[in-house]
Amino acid sequence: MYAIVEIAGQQYKVEKDQQIFVHRLEEEEGSKVTFDNVLLTADGDKIEVGAPAVEGISVSGKILEHLKGDKVIVFKKKRRKGYKKRNGHRQYLTKVEITGFGKGTAKKAAPKKAEAVKVEAAPKAAAAPKKEVVKAPEAKAPKAAAPKKEAAPKAEAKKAPAKAKPAAKKAAPKKEADKKEDK
């Protein structure tokens, strides 16, 4: 017989007398724990799948020890930038031995919310008319004109001077033609 159980946010396939490493649990070494969030159980050909958990089944275990996992090196590098970062990490773990399967707390589905009963308000007889309250307009003092912040002058982009182009030749008036026309 085996079961799939959710322990500390992760899913594990467990069998009786199996030892597993899980994320650190708060209970002390030697204490017994039960895991009620059983997602699937299988006993030979009989398989029960929960939606989301199987009701009435739990997995019991015993905490053997608390320990740290193997060291994992985290190395970051950006090429051609001179950036290297070396870091290490050791995960805190708990070694748990699965002692068996049993009847757990039966999880019942939450009762559905009762439909809200609509209550109609009784018509108000002889209700007093509402009085209109008119407020006098408040006199507003003119606001002093706050000096506007002027935008800082934008720095003009310095442009490299363009290559000097040869000056275009101006057409000189023809003196001879002018003289002939004037006569």
Query: Between β-strands 32-35 and 58-68, what pairing exists: parallel, antiparallel or unpaired?
Result: antiparallel
Q: Facing residues of 62 across strands?
A: 32, 97
Residue whose pair of structure tokens reads 């049993």 in the numeric block: 102
Q: Is residue 92 part of a domain?
A: yes
Outline where DSSP puts E strands in 53-182: 58-68, 72-78, 83-89, 92-102
What number is the average pLDDT over the span 144-154?
A: 60
Q: Which of the residue ranges 9-13, 15-19, 81-85, 106-110 would you say has the lowest mean pLDDT?
A: 106-110
Q: Is residue 81 part of a domain?
A: yes
Per-residue model confidence (pLDDT) at position 103: 83
Q: Facing residues of 23 across strands?
A: 93
Q: Of all residues in the chain, what percent carry a pLDDT higher than 70?
A: 57
Residue whose pair of structure tokens reads 């509402």 in the numeric block: 130
What number is the average pLDDT over the span 141-150?
A: 61
At 142, is the pLDDT very low, low, confident or very high (cuts 50, 70, 90)? low
Q: Is residue 53 part of a domain?
A: yes
At 178, is the pLDDT very low, low, confident or very high (cuts 50, 70, 90)? low
Q: Which of the residue ranges 50-54, 105-109, 142-146 would you say has the lowest mean pLDDT?
A: 105-109
pLDDT of residue 115 exceeding 60, the answer is no
Q: Is residue 132 part of a domain?
A: no
pLDDT tens-digit readout, 3-55: 999 999 999 999 999 999 999 999 999 999 999 999 999 998 999 999 999 99
CB-CB contact of 58 with 104 (8 Å): yes
Per-residue model confidence (pLDDT) at position 106: 52
The residue range of the domain holding 10 is 2-102
Q: How many domains does the chain divide into? A: 1
Q: Is residue 65 part of a domain?
A: yes
Amino acid, single-letter form, for residue 126:
A
At 117, is the pLDDT very low, low, confident or very high (cuts 50, 70, 90)? very low
Q: Is residue 38 part of a domain?
A: yes
Give the C-alpha separation, 171 to 180, whole Å.
19
CA distances in angstroms from 11 to 5, 17, 29, listed in the order given:
5, 18, 22
Average pLDDT, the chain: 79
